[in-house]
Amino acid sequence: MAIRSMTGYGRGEATAGGLKVEVELSAVNRRQFDLRVNLPRTLAVLEAGIAKAVHAVVSRGCVAVAVRLTANGYTAGRHVKVNMDLARSYVKALREMQRELGVSGEITLDALTRLPDIVEHEDLAEDTDRVWRLVSRALKAALAELVAMRDREGASLRRDLVRRFERLRRRHAQITKLAPDIPRRYRHCLHKRLQEAGVDLHLDDAHVLREIAVFADRCDVTEELVRLESHFDQIAGLMDHAEPCGRSFDFLCQEVLREINTIGSKANDGRLARHVIEFKSELERIREQIQNIE
């Protein structure tokens, strides 16, 4: 598995013996795994199995599962019960809504039977295995569709991230090229300031040399640049990682931000500071993107 997005949608259905099961899945970003299952009351016993099946495929994100069960040709007296009290309440509420809003339209039997809990299947609790087989088939199809969509979006995210990290590498190379020149530039600026101030000190004076040495040590960013290179290598390895890698991306980007902040604070140089600003701006865009990765 390469990079996979956390957002997606999937739908599946299965029909057998007069029963039809429809399963819809929708997934959005979430730092942890969060599952919300909407089941008819008669199928509540199946929730644990649905949760296990979804979590086996989805490791991160908020997933909403909607399961609908409809009877098609069942013997009404034996298998199907119509909740007349609830139907009357629906009709009354819908008519009140018509009067209140001034909308026209007929309340049909077809429309009523599609409303939640109007038609109940009395013996489903006794036939859980058969119903679960249908739910499992529909759920499997919905999960396959969900994963396919998440993979397609993940491929798009990967292409974008590859381009953005390549820009960071170029900034890193430019900073690496500039960094060794910073002490020399400081030495030149210090000499110029001493001359402008009328201070009679030569650049080979011990005090001047000590000041330059302290500055050179303080602005040395070699360690930070080496660690950045290491982080880039690890990130490149995650691009085609076999396991969910969103958290790893998030951690490495935090480490990259820490290193570039240190470079910016240590290297007292205007040219390098501009590269640091551009680096951080691009990194922020990357951090927004990786919030979409599972």
Q: Is the pLDDT of residue 1 over 90?
A: no
- pLDDT score for 74: 46
Q: Which amino acid is at 17?
A: G
Residue 285 · residue 163 · CB < 8 Å: no
What is the Cα–Cα distance from 181 to 269, expressed in whole angstroms?
10
Which of the pair, 153 or 98, is modelled with greater confidence? Answer: 153
- Say what percent of the chain tops pLDDT 70: 81
Which of the pair, 263 or 166, is modelled with greater confidence? Answer: 166
The structure's pTM equals 0.69
Please, which residues have CB within 8 angstroms of residue 140's CB and are 6 or more apart in sequence? 12, 53
pLDDT tens, position by position, 25-53? 999 999 899 999 998 877 888 999 999 99
Q: What is the largest CA-CA distance in the chain?
A: 110
Average of pLDDT values for 117-133?
A: 72
Q: Is the pLDDT of residue 23 over 70?
A: yes
- pLDDT score for 185: 61
pLDDT tens, position by position, 258-268? 999 988 887 77
Average of pLDDT values for 104-123?
A: 77
- pLDDT score for 72: 60
What is the Cα–Cα distance from 244 to 31, expressed in whole angstroms?
12
Residue 158 · residue 294 · CB < 8 Å: no
Candidate from 83-92, 107-116, 120-129 with smallest mean pLDDT = 120-129
Which of the pair, 32 or 211, is modelled with greater confidence? Answer: 32
The 10 Å Cβ neighbour count of residue 50 is: 20
Q: Is the pLDDT of residue 135 over 60?
A: yes
Residue 186 · residue 213 · CB < 8 Å: no
- pLDDT score for 207: 55
- H or E, element range at 261: helix 246-266
- pLDDT score for 252: 96
List of long-range contacts for 70-76, beta carbons under 8 Å, 24+ apart: 70/19, 70/20, 70/22, 70/119, 71/18, 71/19, 71/20, 71/119, 71/121, 72/15, 72/18, 72/19, 72/20, 73/18, 74/18, 74/19, 74/121
Q: Is the pLDDT of residue 133 over 60?
A: yes
Confidence of residue 199 (pLDDT cuts 50, 70, 90): low
Q: Is the pLDDT of residue 153 over 90?
A: yes
- pLDDT score for 162: 95
Q: Is the pLDDT of residue 83 over 60?
A: yes
Read out DSSP for 141-185?
HHHHHHHHHHHHHHHHHHHHHHHHHHHHHHHHHHHHHHGGGHHHH
The 10 Å Cβ neighbour count of residue 92 is: 10
Residue 220 · residue 227 · CB < 8 Å: no
Candidate from 82-86, 149-153, 183-187 with smallest mean pLDDT = 183-187
Average of pLDDT values for 209-229?
A: 71
- pLDDT score for 283: 96
Q: Is the pLDDT of residue 208 over 60?
A: no
Average of pLDDT values for 124-138?
A: 82
